Amino acid sequence: MNWINTFEIICYLLTVLLLGDIAKQRNRVELRLFLAATLAGFILEILAVRATDIYHYSNDYFLSIGAPPNQFPVFGGLMWGALAVCGFRIARKFSGSSFEISLFTGWLVVSMDLLLDVAAIRLNGGFWIWDGRILSWDVNHHVFMSVIWVNFLGYLFETPAVVYLTLRLNKLAEKSRLMAILTVLGAGLGAVITVGVGSSLSLLLNKISDEWFAVVAFLVLWTAILGKLVAQIARHWHTLTLRGNRDFVLVVFWAVIYGYCLAALWALGVFHTNIAYGLLAVFVALATLLMSFVSTNAYAESD
């Protein structure tokens, strides 16, 4: 089996595992977050492949929506939801603020994407293909190893937006089933609008600045959020323990995702050609796994 279909099956299995755990815990907030992020993921990806002509997906997926060249793999939309929930589970350990939880979740998702996207565009001809762009290992203000910086910046728009809206609408969603449905739609569509506005503005500023805007904006935001996360962990260090109740599903989810990413990057020879990137990959993988293991009693329910 090739890399594409292996990852596709892994993602379906992880999604089923996560949804089973959400159902077992009867966690309505996480269910609404999963549905809202999945909705946003499907809409954004379908719009992107149909309206932008920036990239197109491989024909090798088992399950896709649409006809070539505008097809989109089903697992992709589901993983937007799964990543949002699993990032959220980690982020809420280190803050009680909806805003900070949203930013931390975005950081966790986009940090994983820094590994996955670099591998994905190179395996088996590419999970997807950036139209008109030649593959290279160059890192400059135009691309990060052939992935455009606006792609990463978009995750820092979408994920925090859907998490923040889901949390802020939580009390309203608890009033009735209809309101719960409306809040899912609101959070999902709100994230789509946020990404649309943010990405459009980024592309405009990129054009004006010879594509410097996206890389500077991403690096500033990524570094600032990391600094805030580290500060929060240091501030509440005494509340953290590795001996508490372990979230088995969370640990398995991130271990499998990062295991796949690191194995793919190793197979591509990235660790030999770019040592600095290899160290970054190991750092974000280990940091995410460690945060998955950690338990804390510092915060109750998010506001």
What pLDDT score was predicted for residue 301? 43
Three-state SS string across the chain, please? CCHHHHHHHHHHHHHHHHHHHHHHHCCHHHHHHHHHHHHHHHHHHHHHHHHCCCEEECCCCCCEECCCCCCEEHHHHHHHHHHHHHHHHHHCCCCCCHHHHHHHHHHHHHHHHHHHHHHHCCHHHCCEEECCCCCCCCECCCEECCEEHHHHHHHHHHHHHHHHHHHHCHHHHCCCHHHHHHHHHHHHHHHHHHHHHHHHHHHHHHHHCCCHHHHHHHHHHHHHHHHHHHHHHHHCHHHEECCCCCCHHHHHHHHHHHHHHHHHHHHCCHHHHCHHHHHHHHHHHHHHHHHHHCEECCCCCCC
d(CA 6, CA 260): 9
Beta strand pairing call for 143-144 and 55-57: unpaired
Mind listing the pLDDT tens digit for each residue in 253-267?
999 999 999 999 999
**Which comes out higher in pLDDT, residue 56 or 87?**
87
What pLDDT score was predicted for residue 300? 43
Residue 303 reports pLDDT greater than 90: no
Q: Report the greatest alpha carbon distance in the chain.
A: 55
Mind listing the pLDDT tens digit for each residue in 98-120?
999 999 999 999 999 999 999 99
pTM assigned to the model: 0.94
Task: Tell me the backbone φ, ψ of residue 295, rounded to 5 degrees.
Answer: -115, 150
Cβ atoms within 10 Å, residue 163: 31
Confidence category of residue 298, pLDDT binned at 50, 70, 90: low
Mind listing the pLDDT tens digit for each residue in 232-248?
999 888 888 877 778 99
CA-closest candidate to residue 243, choices 287, 289, 295: 295
Is residue 56 within 8 A of residue 131, CB to CB? The reply is: yes
Cβ atoms within 10 Å, residue 124: 14
What pLDDT score was predicted for residue 302? 42
Out of 79-93, 160-174, 242-256, least confident range: 242-256
Out of 29-38, 64-73, 74-83, 221-230, least confident range: 64-73
State the burial class of residue 176 (Cβ atoms within 10 Å of its Cβ: 0-12, 13-18, 19+). exposed
Cβ atoms within 10 Å, residue 230: 12
d(CA 36, CA 263): 31
The whole-number average pLDDT for the span 118-123 is 96
Residue 84 reports pLDDT greater than 50: yes
The whole-number average pLDDT for the span 174-183 is 93
Is residue 291 within 8 A of residue 93, CB to CB? The reply is: yes
Confidence category of residue 221, pLDDT binned at 50, 70, 90: very high
What pLDDT score was predicted for residue 299? 56
Mind listing the pLDDT tens digit for each residue in 24-71?
999 999 999 999 999 999 999 888 888 777 788 999 999 999 888 788
Task: Tell me the backbone φ, ψ of residue 148, rounded to 5 degrees.
Answer: -70, 145
